[in-house]
Amino acid sequence: MSAPYGQAPDGFEHTAVTANGITLHAVIGGSGAPVLLLHGWPQTWRAWWHVMPILAQHGYRVIAPDLRAGFGHYRTLLEDARANRAWAEGGGGLPMPVLTVGGEHNAGARLAEALRPIAPHLTSAVIEDSGHFVPDERPDDLARRLTAFLT
């Protein structure tokens, strides 16, 4: 299943995951407790290329799906915002520990500020000397923050 997705890192494989009637491409590897890595727009699973092997070496099963992408993302922003607002106003929340990561020269702690009302167990990480593409720009710093959060 590698084409058109490109080669996966050593020890990882391409797969299809179906949830709620939607089939997504994902790259999975490693063993141990699962870690779900979600990319931003316009990225794909490849945003995590440098971080995935580091987490797998620390004993995690790494799952990196391809999320809604392309300009379709922009077409659904208002619809997604309405659904998310209704979910939150209806008592929805994220009871599990949540880590938000932002680059110092981009989002910083804004993602954490936005999620704090629905994520009571939230930890925020701001990666110094990084902008929008944190996993590419500072993979080792990001991996250190992730493994610290996960242990």
Question: How many percent of the chain have pLDDT more than 70?
Answer: 93
Does residue 70 surpass a pLDDT of 60?
A: no
Taking only the tens place, the pLDDT of each residue in 112-140 is 998 999 999 999 999 999 988 888 899 99
Q: Taking CA 73 as the corner, what is the angle to CA 105 and CA 77, rounded to the nearest 5 degrees?
A: 85
Joined together, the tokens standing for residue 18 give 């179906």
Does residue 2 surpass a pLDDT of 70?
A: no
- Per the CB < 8 A criterion, the answer to whether 33 and 150 are in contact is yes
Residue 94 CA to residue 141 CA, distance in Å, equals 25
| Sign of the Cα pseudo-torsion (3, 23, 25, 53, in order) | negative
Task: State the pLDDT at residue 71.
Answer: 57
* CATH 3.40.50.1820, the chain: domain bounds: 76-151
Does residue 4 surpass a pLDDT of 70?
A: no
Taking only the tens place, the pLDDT of each residue in 11-38 is 999 999 888 888 889 999 999 999 999 8
Q: What is the CATH architecture assignment of 76-151?
A: 3-Layer(aba) Sandwich (3.40)
| The one-letter amino acid at 34 | P
Taking only the tens place, the pLDDT of each residue in 32-44 is 999 999 887 778 8
Average pLDDT on 49-75 reads 84
Mean residue pLDDT across the chain: 87
Global confidence as pTM: 0.76
Distance of CA 76 to the CA centre of its chain: 19
Nearest to 27 by CA among 59, 54, 66: 66
Joined together, the tokens standing for residue 140 give 């080792």
